[in-house]
Amino acid sequence: MGKENKLHVIILGRRNKGKSSLINLLTGQETSIVSEVAGTTTDLVKRSYEIPGFASVIFIDSAGFDDDGTLGEKRVGKTLQAIEQADVALLVISGNQFGPEERALVEKLHKEELPFIIVHNKRDEQPLDDNLQKTLEKELGCPVIDFSTRADTPEPVVEAIKEVWKKQGNDAPKSLIGDLLHPGDIVLLITPIDSEAPAGRMILPQVQVTRDILDNHCAAITLQPEEITPFLTQTGIRPRLAITDSQVFKKVAPLIPAEIPLTSFSIVLARHKGDFAAYLRGTPHIDELRDGDRVLMLESCSHHVSCEDIGRHKIPRWLRERTGKRLEFDFIAGLDAISRPVTDYAMIIQCGGCMITARQLRTRLRPAIEAGVPVSNYGMTIAYLHGIFQRAMEPFGQGRS
């Protein structure tokens, strides 16, 4: 979930219904400007917050969906796009008003399979009508809370968020590799320091996996590729699992003894967040690419692009070398819209997705999967291109039989 596994909760509703007051109450700070003037919130406003014992959350305040004018239409468009990237929605109403606009929005939430809560705000001015509450709960299948940002604490809303999320079969972020480990196991992490490594720190997938190892009461040993052989020889340690940066798969694979399971950070994230089964089906399509085929590379983050960039340069080069075909590539960073129809592409290759939620990643790939366009993941593609796909899948029970 979420940016760095955070739960995204979007606050929706008409103008001047108390959306900004609600996010301020939930976060305990003045995240959004509050005013009696309708339309004060003109763009998405985000604030991180920690719900102890549950999850890290990003609350998203949105412009009113009844915003008007040319700019208003653009702001509403951004709100609708944000719905596709959220994990839970809070639909704020007041004055017992629930009209066609709210019902249209609920249809959108149902279509996106997005769990939601209706918050009837300003109960201190006008309490929620019992009949309306019962009707909405029965028809829409969601909690309806009578609330006041002026008089109430945030707990009722927070508890409702927890409940609707857990009813989806979800809970706090699940472990990345905990099911592969036992307490006391040692995991070897291979992290090259090159021009792509951020100055003075680790990249996010490496940080996330390290934390996951510690959470599972195991030990993480971090090395650069050239340190693998001396370490294994001098210590005699045989790690339970080795995880490498995908771009050095070819160099690392011969250095890790065959009895030690080996995979990559990107593949770990692919299993954790992506449609792993679709990736498994789609990756071998690499050998079916033909001259003139177009491949879409999806990078779910923005960063400076260098000549060693894995998605922009290395994977395209390796694909051309492997297939011997004249391939065309499009690149999209972050969550920018895909400008072409997905059916224009012979294949789509998605990064690990460390900066986005599982829902965002799956929503992004769903149209392609439904259209029958093969999809893969950076790490799985690289493993396939270097002839170690089966070995990289073995830690997850997907390798050689």
pTM of the model: 0.75
Q: pLDDT tens, 84-114?
A: 878 899 999 999 999 999 999 999 999 888 9
Q: pLDDT tens, 192-249?
A: 986 555 566 678 899 999 999 999 999 999 999 999 999 999 999 999 999 999 999 9
Residue 90 has phi, psi (to 5 degrees) of -110, 115
Architecture of domain 277-385: 3-Layer(aba) Sandwich (3.40)
- CATH topology for 7-167 is Rossmann fold (3.40.50)
* Domain-wise residue ranges, the chain: 7-167, 178-268, 277-385
Q: Which of 156-160, 171-175, 383-387 has the lowest mean pLDDT?
A: 171-175
Structural contact between residues 60 and 9, judged by C-beta atoms closer than 8 angstroms: yes
49 pLDDT above the threshold of 80: yes
- Pairwise pLDDT comparison (363 vs 9), residue with the higher score: 9
Binned at pLDDT 50, 70 and 90, residue 148 comes out as: very high
Determine the residue type at 336.
D
Binned at pLDDT 50, 70 and 90, residue 303 comes out as: very low
Cα of 40 vs its chain's centroid, Å:
29
Determine the residue type at 29.
Q
Same fold, 178-268 and 277-385: yes
Choose which CATH entry (3.40.50.11420, 3.40.50.300, 3.30.1280.10, 3.30.2320.80) describes domain 178-268.
Answer: 3.40.50.11420
117 to each of 32, 106, 133, 139, 387, how far by Cα in Å? 20, 10, 12, 13, 48
Determine the residue type at 273.
K
18 pLDDT above the threshold of 60: yes
Distance, in Å, from the CA atom of 15 to the CA atom of 41, rounded to the nearest integer, reads 8
pLDDT at 5: 61
**37 Cβ neighbours under 8 A, 6+ residues apart:** 16
Q: Which of 22-31, 247-256, 325-334 has the lowest mean pLDDT?
A: 22-31
